[in-house]
Amino acid sequence: MMLRVLLLLILPLCAVAAPLPVPDQGPALRIQGSNTIGAALGPALVEGLMEHQGLQAVHSEPGDGANEQRVIGKTRQGKSVIVEVAAHGSSTGFSALKKASADLAASSRPIKDNELVDLEPLGDLKSPEAEQVIAIDGLAIILHPRNPLDTLNTEQLAQIFNGEISTWEALGWSGGAIHLYARDDQSGTYDTFKELVLRLRGKPLAGSAKRFESSEALSDAVSHDPQGIGFIGLPSVREAKAVAIVDGDSQPMLPVTRLIATEDYPLSRRLYFYLPPSGRNPWAKALVDFTQSSKGQAIVAANGFIAQQVQAISVASRPSMPEDYQAIARDAQRLTVNFRFEEGSASLDNKARQDLQRVVAYINSHGKLDKQVTLVGFGDAKSDPQRAALLSKLRAMAVRRELVKSGVVLRDIRGLGAQMPVAANTADEGRIKNRRVEVWVY
């Protein structure tokens, strides 16, 4: 019975419906949205799906406009299968769903409330089946390679990109005027930066910022400008220099794989496919399933993003850590996943529900079902530290309830309250990041 349960958990991550129908005319699938996804990752995933389907001569070619591509493959009977990918910014994906000019929206930010309401006729796009986290990305703050600064905090970032801090001298370097580089208004990258940095501090982007539709063009411009600073998705850092970021009382964090995978890095973000529940295109559903499979996640990693495959990593013990946490770090390894919760709720969010399957598969395949797993819960600051500790333990217990259903017997559950924050507690976004549950294996 246990094996059957585990197989049912693992199956959705590796199953792809086959064979898929080939339309008599027009594209089999139309994807619209994020440049971060559509520039390279989206086409690469489509190519992977086509090859998985047994199509031949699979390749990508430019589409009709800038930042548009066609992915083409041929059936054994010689019939062409075409998938169109348009990468003009996350908001354009939701607009295209409404206009029925796309079957799948690619987004580098969560769907907004107004978009959710606007698309209600297509079904609930926040349901677990519709909202699919396909990868984790980190927004890197990039400088010219010769810029000596190595750390900035989120408050400084807001002041820099608002224009309040306008010279490098104000930051301790004799570099002259600061030149700002930013993505355009349609970009999910810009939306993410605006939400995580600017809006939280009530600051608009300075009008002097140079705007780019292309991530790669922005990165190249900064790497050639000694006075430049920009923000970019992790795969587009290229020749520029990324700096460590501090948010509130967090430790300085570089945009490195393990910190982005757990979403501890202050400027980490999720990349999404949104699949409308009504009128579902079979190619869209197949692409989502393929993307969540081990083959799809390998393509995610190959394109410079952070895959969601679970791994165990060693964490160095530091004196700043609570003593009981140091003891866990000395004896166990941390899995590269944090469980997080719906806003204002004790319910696991959509990514956490997917991660449960991955964590159970890891625990089972590594023989750690019996008292080899410890959960450590954290939360945001409360006026009463004991209340914060209790709530953090209750979150860990919520994860335990789900793991127990799959036969996992826990070794221990800890609640460390508001200790070790990864984000500032001054806004909802930071508090949500701090409300997390870590998984440690022995």
Domain extents in the chain: 11-135+269-302, 137-261, 310-441
Taking residues 164-169, what's their average pLDDT? 98
Taking residues 37-63, what's their average pLDDT? 97
CATH architecture under which domain 137-261 falls = 3-Layer(aba) Sandwich (3.40)
Q: Which fold has domain 11-135+269-302?
A: D-Maltodextrin-Binding Protein; domain 2 (3.40.190)
Pairwise CA distance, residues 49 & 56, whole Å = 12
Tell me the two tokens of residue 177.
């005027």
Beta carbons within 10 angstroms of residue 145's beta carbon: 12
Residue 347 clears pLDDT 70, i.e. is over it: yes
**Contact at 8 Å (CB) between 83 and 77?**
no
Ranges 197-201, 219-223, 300-304, 354-358: which has the least confidence: 197-201
Mean pLDDT of the residues in the chain? 93
Pairwise CA distance, residues 227 & 180, whole Å = 9
Pairwise CA distance, residues 277 & 174, whole Å = 55
Separation of CA 213 from chain center? 20
Cis peptide bond N-terminal to 12, omega within 30: no
pLDDT-based confidence at 1, cuts 50/70/90? very low
pLDDT-based confidence at 425, cuts 50/70/90? confident
Taking residues 376-399, what's their average pLDDT? 92
Can you name the residues that pair with 440 across neighbouring β-strands? 334, 374
Residue 382: its pLDDT value, please? 84
Pairwise CA distance, residues 191 & 180, whole Å = 16
- Choosing among 3.30.1330.60, 3.30.420.40, 3.40.50.150, 3.40.50.720, the CATH entry for 310-441 is 3.30.1330.60
pLDDT in tens, 175-222: 999 999 999 998 888 988 998 899 878 999 999 999 999 999 999 999
- Please give the single-letter amino acid code of residue 271: L
Burial of 372 (0-12, 13-18, 19+ CB in 10 A): middle
Residue 346 clears pLDDT 70, i.e. is over it: yes
Can you name the residues that pair with 341 across neighbouring β-strands? 348
Residue 342: its pLDDT value, please? 84
Tell me the two tokens of residue 51.
């090859």
Give the Cα-Cα-Cα angle 33, 342, 406 (nearest 5 degrees). 105
Pairwise CA distance, residues 98 & 143, whole Å = 38
Residue 169 clears pLDDT 50, i.e. is over it: yes
Beta-carbon contacts of 224 under 8 Å, excluding residues fewer than 6 positions away, are 144
CA torsion sign for 233, 239, 240, 242 is: positive
Taking residues 353-369, what's their average pLDDT? 96
Q: What are the CA-CA distances from residue 283 to residues 3, 91, 99, 225, 276 (Å)?
A: 30, 22, 19, 43, 12
Beta-carbon contacts of 105 under 8 Å, excluding residues fewer than 6 positions away, are 31, 32, 33, 90, 93, 94, 96, 97, 272, 273, 274
Tell me if domain 11-135+269-302 and domain 137-261 are identical in fold.
yes
Taking residues 420-429, what's their average pLDDT? 86
Nearest to 333 by CA among 440, 416, 186: 440
Residue 2: its pLDDT value, please? 42
Taking residues 319-342, what's their average pLDDT? 95
pLDDT-based confidence at 7, cuts 50/70/90? very low
